[in-house]
Copies of this chain bind each other. A is one copy, B any other.
Amino acid sequence: VQEAQETRLRLVTSAADLASLEGLEGVSIGRLARETGMSKSGVVRHFETKEELQLQTVAATERFREAAWETVAQQPPGRRRLVAACTSWMTYLAGDVFPGGCFLTAAATEFDGRPGPVRAAVAAALATWLGALERDARIAVDAGELAPDTDPRALVYELNALALAANQARQLFDDDEAPARSLRLMLARIGHPTASARP
């Protein structure tokens, strides 16, 4: 059972890498078999359909995100956690976790026009991440760490905008400074506690 789990993890990791470069739709059973040196029947033993493979791939990247959040969650809720989350986010975009940039952004753009379980899974994954940020933004506002007229949802909308720009600039224009630029802009929006901030 453990060996099967390891093989499956290797397959979805390879699928996520491929998907970040060429799109999730390009990751067929046959392509994945070639990429990993397995037989097609070997791959099919783990994922009966292409959609099953796509869903498992989205689920696997969710586990990466959860692991990243565990580190972020060591910070106290509110502004400090929001700063940690943005820093972790832009460090991820500046690194090479996936060879073609953020897997989720690529999958979101690819599947936003195709209703079905994959689109729903991608939307749910992104909503979970943005929802976590929004919770901390709300805590920060309530604690006086952010200006009282801050709309947590609107703030996270802007943070996400900057993340999308960083990913596009790095992937399409080879602008490796973009994640750092986006992080500076993010911190300019969340980095300045108001005078009434709790000590």
Judging by beta carbons under 8 Å apart, are A108 and B172 in contact? yes
Grouping DSSP codes into helix (H, G, I), strand (E, B) and loop, the A interface class, with mixed when no group exceeds half, is helix
Interface size (A, Cβ < 8 Å)? 39
0 or 1 for each of A162-183: is its CB under 8 Å from B? (1 = yes): 1011001101110000100110
Interface with B: A83-91, A119-127, A133-141, which one? A119-127
Across the interface, A171 reaches (CB within 8 A) one of B106, B112, B127, B158, namely B112
A residues sitting closer than 8 Å to B (CB atoms) are 20-23, 25-26, 99-101, 105-106, 108-110, 112-114, 119, 122-123, 126-127, 154, 157-158, 160-162, 164-165, 168-169, 171-173, 178, 181-182, 185
Q: Which residues of B contact A123 (CB under 8 A)?
A: 172-173
